[in-house]
Amino acid sequence: MARATTTRSKITFTVVGWLCGLLLFFPILWTFLTSFKTEGDAIANPPYFLFFHWTLENYAEVQARSDYLHHFLNSVTISVGSTLIGLVIAVPAAWAMAFSPTRRTKDVLMWMLSTKMMPPVGALIPIYLIFRDWGLLDSRIGLTVVLMLINLPIIVWMLYTYFREIPGEILEAARMDGASLAKEIVYVLTPMAIPGIASTLLLNIILAWNEAFWTLNLSTSRAAPLTTFIASYSSPEGLFWAKLSAASTLAIAPILIMGWFSQKQLVRGLTFGAVK
């Protein structure tokens, strides 16, 4: 009897669960499908779901007409660059806070978190003017630095929550065996810290890739990452849905795959360790 109810509830939840999942995923699936349609098929009414003339011309056209690859590489440079620089700065800081905490460590962490809460419009005008005067507008280096700074608190926090889980006794044991600080870091702690650093790297590339306040305001074409490039489709001419879909599919595919791998870290990273 009990088993029968379980099976029935399992079937119910299978149906409900898949319906919810497909409903939420549908806009992405629709974008993916539309990217293979001709522009005429893309606006057909009633819409074509699967039985249309499949074509790759949109992908070719997005590259040929607007140099998609250029913007893709900008996105890669800016998101990976800002994350790597952020890690170089954050690893020592998080390390020190996790392994030699003082009375003020918590205050420093809290203060770092509070910088994340400053709304970007509070800094937009001076940053824009500084960038204009220093010739940094629409430059990859400028965007990399800004994205590094806005994500630095998250990087420090994530690393801190990971490092804190490394047992301190291991450190002491190594120290007793006469290991120097440098040896301690290279041979004992680094292997244990690698997973945490990798997760942080992954999540921050995702965040930087999708960042759309600073990239939209500080870049126009030369350094424009995909966020800005896609935004240029907001005032297009003629039929463009299929091309928009192709550009969008290419823009979200790599990050969606990375995101699926980092779903666990997402919770930890974005809640600053409050939910694990």
Partner 1 sequence: MATLHTRASARLMMSPAVILLFVWMIVPLAMTLYFSFLSYNLLTPGAHNFIGFTNYYYFLTDPAFLTAIGNTLLIVIGVLLITVIGGILLALVLDQPFWGQGIVRLLVIAPFFVMPTVSALVWKNMFMNPVYGLFAWIARGLGLTPVDWLADVPLFSIILIVAWQWLPFATLILLTALQSLDGEQKEAAEMDGAGAISRFFYIVLPHLSRAITVVILIQTIFLLSVFAEILVTTNGGPGIQSTNLTYLVYAQALLQFDVGGASAGGIVAVILANIVAIFLIRLIGKNLDR
* Contact set for partner 1, span 205-264 (CB under 8 A): 206, 209-210, 212-213, 216-217, 226-228, 230-231, 233-234, 241, 244-245, 248, 251-252, 255-256, 258-260, 263
**Of 8, 9, 134, 222, the one binding partner 1 by CB under 8 A:** 9
Q: Which residues are CB-neighbours of 37 under 8 A, at least 6 positions away?
A: 48, 52, 53, 54, 55, 58, 242, 245
- Are 154 and 116 within 8 A, CB to CB? yes
Segment 133 to 162, residues that bind partner 1, using CB under 8 A: 149, 152-153, 156
Question: Counting contacts by CB under 8 A, is residue 13 touching partner 1?
Answer: yes
- Cα separation of 160 and 90, whole Å? 9
Q: Is 247 exposed, middle or buried (0-12, 13-18, 19+ CB in 10 A)?
A: buried
Q: How far is the CB of 50 from partner 1 (least distance, A)?
A: 15
Quick one: which of 8, 40, 47, 170 contacts partner 1 (CB under 8 A)? 47
The 10 Å CB-count burial string (b at 16+, else e) for 116-133 is: eeeeeeeeeeebeeebee
Q: How far is the CB of 60 from partner 1 (least distance, A)?
A: 20
Cβ atoms of 224 and 67 within 8 Å: the answer is no
Nearest distance from C-beta of residue 28 to partner 1, angstroms: 6
Rule CB under 8 A: is residue 96 a binding residue for partner 1?
Answer: yes
Nearest residue to 228 (alpha-carbon basis) of 75, 28, 123, 80: 75
Q: Is 201 in the site for partner 1 (CB under 8 A)?
A: no
- Classify each residue of 223-232 as buried b or exposed e, where b means 16 or more C-beta atoms within 10 Å of its C-beta: bbbbbbbbee
Smallest gap from residue 170 Cβ to partner 1 (A): 16
Does the protein bind partner 1 through residue 128 (CB under 8 A)? yes
- Is 112 a binding residue for partner 1 by CB under 8 A? The answer is yes
Q: Does 97 bind partner 1 (CB under 8 A)?
A: yes
Question: Site map for partner 1, 64-93, x if CB under 8 A?
Answer: -------------------------xx-xx
Q: Residue 272, interface with partner 1 (CB under 8 A)?
A: yes
Residue-wise DSSP of 86-136: HHHHHHHHHHHHHHS--TTHHHHHHHHHHHHTS-THHHHHHHHHHHHHTT-
Asked if 178 is part of the footprint of partner 1 (rule: CB under 8 A), the reply reads no
Which residues are CB-contacts of 103 (< 8 A; sequence separation ≥ 6)? none
25, 54, 134, 187: residue in contact with partner 1 (rule CB under 8 A): 25
Q: Which among 41-49, 50-58, 63-71, 194-202 is the span making contact with partner 1, rule CB under 8 A? A: 41-49
Give the one residue of 8, 53, 106, 222 binding partner 1; rule: CB under 8 A.
106
How far is the C-alpha of 72 from the C-alpha of 48, rounded, in Å?
A: 29
- Nearest approach, Cβ of residue 269 and partner 1 (Å): 11
Find the binder of partner 1 among 62, 78, 109, 143 (CB under 8 A).
Answer: 109
Planar angle of CA 240, 224, 233, nearest 5 degrees: 15
